[in-house]
Structure 1
Amino acid sequence: MKTPEWLNDEEQRLWRLMLAANRKVDRAIEESLNTGYDLTTPEFGVLVSLSEHPEKRMRLRELCAALNWDRSRTSHQITRMERRGLVDKQRCSGDGRGVLVALTKEGERRLKQAVPEHVQTVRELVFDRLSQEQAQAIHDFSLAVLGSDVEHLNIPKGKNNG
């Protein structure tokens, strides 16, 4: 194993700033969703993925790929959400081992209620604080970190998705 090259002072500062900023954004989003709409961030992610699918349902393995989660985490999350009435689990016809996850009316209702405040929180915490150049730099950095994994994630295409 290669001996690690320790981070220099500037790299350490940047790394810790990135972690702190990510935690701040995560906490604010979690608090907004939880307090106002009784949703967790993972639940919101599942509901968004399902709502964007043309049939409002997806195979479990597609959902795993879209969320970049492993099957176990996704299965447990879906089971909890099914108990709360946010999604339904169904067997795939013709595939006894396949599972379909469908958005329920309640899940769709809760998502529609939460989206405006979620967007406002993201805008205030992130986009209102960035110049176009900074946003492009973060975009490029994110693509570099994700590499080919980005193809499997549920990320809308845009003019900068290259």
Structure 2
Amino acid sequence: MSEQPRWLNDNEQALWRLMLAASRKVNRVVDETLQAGSNLSASEFAVLVTLSEAEGNELRLRDLCAGLDWDRSRTSHQVTRMEKRGLLTKCKSPGDARGVLVQLTEDGMSRVTQSAPDHVESVRRVVFDHMVPEDVPALRRFFAGIMEVDNVPGIPRCSEINN
């Protein structure tokens, strides 16, 4: 980071606050929809979806946290809580005593399948129904630019950790 702060101008500040408010609203709508329809948190849903899309409905813990872009500690704690609820299982990875394999259970698959229709309807209503097709390329460029930024301080990404 530079020594002198590069303060936001009034337009940037207004846009930043709008982005924060919109992000909070999307997160709240998604979380409330998942809680009401299937008693899942947004974090649980993210884990279940990631596992449901993986071959054999299983991933190594390091691959799960890389796919979610979460740190290892957060992923590990989330997996432990979900295992206690019967949504997934975890065990030592075959052939690698240090690795942990996380697998979706039948109940986990059932819950993600049950919650998907209401989830996608909420996302459609809050994000896509008011968007015009001409907005999409600019928004893709904007969000892709955010995802490419890697020169900020913080903890190492989960993909940089061994298991």
TM-score, length-scaled by structure 1 = 0.89
Q: Give the structure 2 partner of residue 139 of structure 1.
A: 140
The gaps in structure 2 that reach 5 residues or longer are 151-156, 158-163
Q: Give the structure 2 partner of residue 108 of structure 1.
A: 109
SS at match of 2:74: helix
The gaps in structure 1 that reach 5 residues or longer are 153-162
Cα deviation for residue 135 of structure 1 reads 2.0
Matched residues, number = 150
Return 128-137 or 103-112, whichever deviates more: 128-137
- Distance in 2, Cα, partners of 1:12 & 1:133: 25
1:11-160 counterparts in 2 under 5 A? 11-147=12-148
SS at match of 1:3: coil
1:18 counterpart letter in structure 2: M
Cα deviation for residue 148 of structure 1 reads 7.4
SS at match of 1:129: coil
Deviations 1:105-155 (A, max 9, x none): 000000000000000000011011111121221111111111177xx9xxx
Could you say what the CA RMSD is over the residues aligned between the two structures, in angstroms?
A: 1.4
SS at match of 1:55: helix
- Distance in 2, Cα, partners of 1:148 & 1:90: 34
1:91 counterpart letter in structure 2: K
1:57 counterpart letter in structure 2: E
1:135 counterpart letter in structure 2: V
2:28 counterpart letter in structure 1: R
Sequence identity, in percent?
53
- Distance in 2, Cα, partners of 1:135 & 1:125: 15
TM-score, length-scaled by structure 2 = 0.89
SS at match of 2:101: strand
Structure number with greater CO (CA < 8 Å, separation at least 6) is 2
SS at match of 2:55: coil
1:15 counterpart letter in structure 2: W
Cα deviation for residue 10 of structure 1 reads 0.5
Deviations 1:4-24 (A, max 9, x none): 121111100000000001100
- Distance in 1, Cα, partners of 2:56 & 2:69: 21
Runs ≥4 residues deviating over 2 A: none
